[in-house]
């Protein structure tokens, strides 16, 4: 089944679904939560993330869409880990995260 979303909506869905990648990644590492809650977070995050990716790829080329989805997921997951003080943000890590985001924005602009 293919979704025919307008380009603006497809990009919005793709960005939101990329951010939901953080939810299932967090569930994998959330050893402070009981297993049923971790499983629920993982399933909801995966369904929203993958479902949004599938819907957006009906209107966005797969190579571009997948790269943006992964980039958004990677940066939001890093930001969550930094906010939770599980990882540190050095200036060099910030530069590389900015480079990644610049690539994501660049792919959106030229697509």
pTM of the predicted protein model: 0.85
pLDDT at 24: 92
Angstrom distances, CA of residue 69 to CA of 59, 89, 91: 14, 22, 24
Give the confidence band of 1 by pLDDT, cuts at 50, 70, 90: low
pLDDT in tens, 7-56: 899 999 999 999 999 999 999 988 898 999 999 999 999 999 999 999 99
pLDDT at 69: 95
Residue 2 pLDDT exceeds 70? no
40-77 as b/e: b if 16+ CB within 10 A: ebbeebbebbeebbebbbebbeeebbbebbebbbbbbb
């Amino acid at each position: 089944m293919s979704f025919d979303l307008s380009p603006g909506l497809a990009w919005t869905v793709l960005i939101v679904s990329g951010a939901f990648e953080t939810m299932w990644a967090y569930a994998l590492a959330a050893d402070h939560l009981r297993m049923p809650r971790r499983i629920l977070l993982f399933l909801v995050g995966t369904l929203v993330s993958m479902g949004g990716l599938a819907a957006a790829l009906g209107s966005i080329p797969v190579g571009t869409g997948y790269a943006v989805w992964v980039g958004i997921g990677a940066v939001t997951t890093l930001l969550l880990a930094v906010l939770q003080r599980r990882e540190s943000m050095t200036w060099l890590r910030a530069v590389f995260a900015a480079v990644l985001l610049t690539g994501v924005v660049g792919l959106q602009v030229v697509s």
